[in-house]
Amino acid sequence: MYHRFSDPTSLKAQCTYLKHHYELLSMLELSECLRSGRPFPPNAVVITIDDGYRDFLKIAFPIFSTYSIRVTVFLVTDFLDRKLWLWPDVVKYAFGHTPYTAAEVDIPNGRRLSLPLDSSTLRLQAARVTIEEAKTLTNQDRLFLLECLMERLQVKLPREIPEHCQPLRWDEVRSLAQSGVEFGAHTKTHSILSRLSDNQELSNEIVGSKKRIEEQLNAPVLHFCYPNGRAADISDSAVATVRAADFRTAVTTEHGLNLKSSNRFLLRRIGVEPNLPDLYFRQCVAGFRV
Ligand SMILES: [Zn+2]
């Protein structure tokens, strides 16, 4: 599981290693194995990319394509429709652009964070702490926190999403699909599904994102990715909604390998980044690192 790309050289090295030592499957091939009960090929790996940032097109796709690696990209559809920024980027932007050198932030769960902001490292750290607190909140409280944060830090978001936080455009998604990239749904707004208040909201996020991509690609969307993706983020009703929506698989961020007997709606993944040290990357892919 990748998210962002900045360094083509290290991604190339990772692809060379994977091609040499692993059997690279697409999500579709994996889902066929899971459905038919056919064994996975030895050392099978599937590459997935979450969220739908535009750096995939510019940096990663040309490399995956050179290596003939079929990848699956999970899209947050309101992000692609440019109705919203991915919410952790809003928090990072707010702390990065506030005129203050320290701030107290009230979290709707009653906690108050005292955050020093007099260096870029401290600002990033403040954003990270606030993002982690926000993940524990109900969806409504998280949206309220974001609103209060902007006011508290005296920051206004620019109309255009900044270059490094931009999503793919739909015409780019269509042309990538024609070049063999598979696209999956990753909700409309990247809300954590266990923090939603009712089934209507669940269906809107899950089915709504599937339909939006299908409308754009004119092809069925078969794979789903749970936002944040830890066990606590995935309610039973979220899994039931994914099953009922005719997805073939759904992936989590629970760390680990998958077996033929794995639940195809709760597949495990291993998080990696292009800039991991070589040995560490190799250990991650082999399942030796948590
Ligand atoms: Zn995501």
Q: How far is the CA of 252 from the centre of ligand 1 (A)?
A: 10
Residue corresponding to tokens 């490292």: 121
Pair of tokens at residue 191? 């809300």
How many angstroms does the Cα of residue 228 sit away from the middle of ligand 1? 6
Domain layout of the chain by residue ranges: 8-83+166-285, 87-152
How far is ligand 1, taken at its centre, from the CA of residue 151, in Å? 26
CB-CB contact of 126 with 103 (8 Å): yes
C-alpha of residue 2 to centroid of ligand 1, in Å: 10
Judge whether residue 290 has pLDDT over 70.
no
* Cβ contacts of 238 within 8 Å, gap of 6 or more: 193, 194, 202, 206, 226
Q: What is the pLDDT of residues 137-187, one digit of tens each?
A: 999 999 999 999 999 999 999 999 999 999 999 999 999 999 999 999 999
| CA distance linking residue 112 with residue 105, whole number of Å | 6
How many Å lie between the centroid of ligand 1 and the Cα of residue 51? 5
User: Per residue in 64-111, pLDDT tens?
Assistant: 999 999 999 999 999 999 999 999 999 999 999 999 999 999 999 899
Calculate what percentage of the chain has a pLDDT beyond 90: 95
CA of 260 to the centre of ligand 1 (A): 25
- pLDDT of 202-258, one tens digit each? 999 999 999 999 999 999 999 999 999 999 999 999 999 999 999 999 999 999 999
| pLDDT per position as a tens digit, 117-128 | 999 999 999 999
The two tokens of residue 10 are: 């290290």
Q: Ligand 1 centre from 97 Cα, in Å?
A: 24
What is the homologous superfamily of the domain 8-83+166-285 according to CATH? Glycoside hydrolase/deacetylase (3.20.20.370)
pLDDT reported for residue 37: 87
Helix, strand or coil, per DSSP, at residue 127: helix
